Structure 1
């Protein structure tokens, strides 16, 4: 049996692809939701829209600092793992849920499989970067979405158990894009014409924890909005921060968080994406929408090299090309095949 730990929006999307593949291969999975993203619009709707099984355990851990949150997750995950006795623990990405799941499993001598291993921004001030590094060094099976991720691990001396499989988020994008076009009414609800707007999101601590930097990001977005109006779904942390500001954002329309189908439809019909989200950088490429990353670096260097992404302060877009590393939409199946072989072996 595989025990899967999830807690945040990007993990729900990735888990949808892998959970479907696990079920198709006849493998039993126990899903644990840490509660890191607990708002219905950031959690429940993703399970419903993506057909993810309801979690067997919901730890309801949220709204705390990094240390407190990770510590509480570690304690509760250890209890769940002792009760469930999994053969392997599966974690995704770079959140507190990820590193807590990896640490709890490793301390109990349970093999860890990390999906989206090997990513590096090389900025250790980011909590996500620390989570990635710790999780990779605790993992027995490292599933990398790109060749650069494989090279990063090799540079850190990690070569055993490394698999380049493509990107499981691309799998979901391919299977849900048409469904979003058919079933999402987000453009009608917001009275938007296709290709008449840009999409923006801000949630990373490096932007939201520094008031001066947050103000600079908002000013940058307002400058961009002079050309194209911006639709901005608000992360709860960002919504609270904006409420504290005595500032009216011009040509930036603030809306509540969106489910996956609505966000997919909104993104697909946009002319540009402005974001500090790693997942949204990739999703912009999947839909072939130019992206500007509101950070000083990105772990998704392929999107920069291929000319679909650029940093908000830095060189303009490179010449555009395709990114073959993300695969052909069967990354989750490849992952499950290799996991199954490892568990049998």
Structure 2
């Protein structure tokens, strides 16, 4: 069996890494399962690229389509053209896409039109917010998918309501957590730790990149001002996303407790998260990691495609509502934050389950 694994952005590789490990384990057992790793180049950070692959022991991609940035339409079209050529040159039995980036959707479309089966890892999650490009990617991808690998029973139910055959839905858990648990003993201090003489549970980590939070300058300024003020004397470590960095210029947001830094490596960032008093974010994936590490998470979104992080985990949705943000900080500093639990099957064995299902589907010996 030959599988094309598709990744388009840094979070995709975090999800792909354990799947590659699981495939290699089966290969060592004599199972006829092979893979080729395709990087569409949707997101590329020259400063982090090589170290990212090295620190997580991810094989460098067999092919990089080097699509880079552009409008949604330009990027989607370039990915589709490049991936179609790849499929013409290299035959495969299955295309596996992960997550919800543009590459996920674009490559699923191309594979399906070429008559190739599609597997979607992280299928079925929905925010209900069609203003999010990711939500459109999820809907389109799942409308074409043959094999659905899900992170939660909630995702299962979303797919069943859409009419997906239950036999094609596989509740396997969360591959991002596979990577986190595998590397938790390898997390390392970034230079900001010693530079600011940080101590565990004494600081906050913040990430912002959603258009709803960062695109309008006055809203972004008001949001950061409120957070910096509510944090009082607690340092806020703010790895700035390239998208956000452009908008922050000229806003004159200089608070003594707000520390802008460049994006961190995976091991450094999760070290900071693990030892933080809390995380403030608008990222979906980070809410999963904070849940597993039992770190309070304040999410600056009105909805989430990962409700288990709220229902079971440590996450609270506050949107950009002043009163909700204030209430979250009150709960945090009064030490009344809810006690989270780890969702079902978020145990580090998700990739193994995925590959076992593929072996059963294709009856590999």
Structure 2 residues not aligned, in runs of 5+: 28-32, 332-336
Instruction: Give the TM-score normalised by structure 2.
Output: 0.89
Partner of 2:184: 177
Shift of residue 306 of structure 1?
2.4
**Conserved 8 A contact 1:37-1:43:** no
> Which shows bigger deviation, 202-211 or 21-30?
202-211
Q: 2:200 aligned with 1:194, yes or no?
A: yes
Distance apart, 1:184 and its partner CA = 6.0
CA separation of 1:77 and 1:224: change in aligned 2, threshold 3 A? farther
What whole-Å deviation, never above 9, does each CA across 1:128-175 have from its counterpart, x for those lacking one? 101011111111111001111101111111234111001111111111
Q: CA deviation at 1:250?
A: 4.4
Q: Which has the larger radius of gyration?
A: 2
Q: Secondary structure at the match of 1:128?
A: helix
Q: CA offsets, 1:59-118, max 9 Å, x none?
A: 111221111111111110111111111111111111111111111111111111111111
Runs of 5+ unmatched residues, structure 1: none
Give the distance between the partners of 1:342 and 1:244, measured in 2 at CA. 56
2:62 to 56, 77, 85: 56
Matched, 1:106 2:112: yes
Rounded to whole Å, the distance in 1 between the matches of 2:65 and 2:340 is 43
Equivalent pairs counted in the alignment come to: 344
CA distances 1:210-244 after superposition (whole Å, capped 9, x unpaired)? 33433343233223332521101111111121124
Pairs within 5 Å for 1:256-275? 256-275=262-281
What is the CA RMSD across the aligned residues, in angstroms? 2.0
Q: Is the 8 A contact 1:7 1:36 kept in 2?
A: yes
2:92 — aligned with what?
Answer: 86
Matches within 5 A, 1:133-144: 133-144=139-150
1:30 and 1:138 map into 2 onto residues whose CA distance is 21
SS in 2 for 1:25: helix
Within 5 Å, give how 1:271-282 maps onto structure 2.
Answer: 271-282=277-288
Moved more, 101-110 or 245-254: 245-254
- Counterpart mapping for 1:6-45 below 5 A: 6-26=7-27, 27-45=33-51
**1:335 equivalent in alignment to 2:357:** no
Query: Within 5 A, what are the aligned runs for 1:214-253?
Result: 214-253=220-259
Show the 5 A alignment for 1:284-323. 284-306=290-312, 308-312=314-318, 313=321, 314=324, 319-323=338-342
Secondary structure of 1:324's counterpart equals: coil
Match of 2:334 in 1: none
